[in-house]
Amino acid sequence: MRPGGCGCVAVWTRREGAPPVVAFHDAYRVAFPDAAPHTPSPRIARLSDPVRLAEEMRKAGSGEVSVRTTSGVWEAPSPEWVADNMHRFYGQFPVYTAMSDEERAHLRLAMKSVT
């Protein structure tokens, strides 16, 4: 960001309020029922708290920081669309990036059944 510029960061305050994340976890459990559940990074927990998010933004060099809570509905065109676009939603998830192509294909099939 350039000096004097504006930025926007969107995070969910609760996992249950993040439909794409819930869909991922549900599909992961279906695709890999014997796998150990994974937990989000502590960094995610830090950013989900409005006060800590503001602190982290200031530490990163932001001058004026305003954190507002809002709500909305996440709508996807179809389960197939979500499955076909998993890389867009989950490409930053370490558990997703660590998967082989075969595992991602298995997860994609499971995603169609849970969304």
Tens of pLDDT, residues 64-74: 898 988 887 87
Distances, alpha carbon 72 to alpha carbons 16, 18, 69, 75, in Å: 13, 10, 10, 9
**pLDDT at position 33:** 94
Cα separation, 110 vs 115, in Å, equals 9
Residue 6's pLDDT band (cuts 50, 70, 90): confident
Using pLDDT thresholds of 50, 70 and 90, give the confidence band for residue 2. Answer: confident
Rounded Cα distance between 106 and 29, Å, is 11
Domain count, the chain: 1
pLDDT at 99: 94
Segments forming the whole domain that contains residue 89: 15-114
**Is 28 part of any domain?**
yes
- Residue 72 falls within a domain, yes or no? yes
* pLDDT at 60 (0 to 100): 87
Whether residue 3 is contained in a domain is answered as: no
pTM: 0.69
Is residue 114 within 8 Å of 28, Cβ to Cβ? Answer: no
Q: What is the pLDDT of residues 34-57, one digit of tens each?
A: 998 777 777 777 788 889 889 988
| In-domain check, residue 9 | no
Question: What pLDDT score does 68 carry?
Answer: 87
Rounded to an integer, what distance in angstroms lies between the CA atom of residue 57 and that of residue 24? Answer: 27
CA nearest to 28, candidates 101, 91, 110, 83:
110
Neighbours of 94 (CB within 10 A): 10
Maximum Cα interatomic distance, the chain, rounded to a whole number of Å: 50
Residue 76 lies in a domain: yes
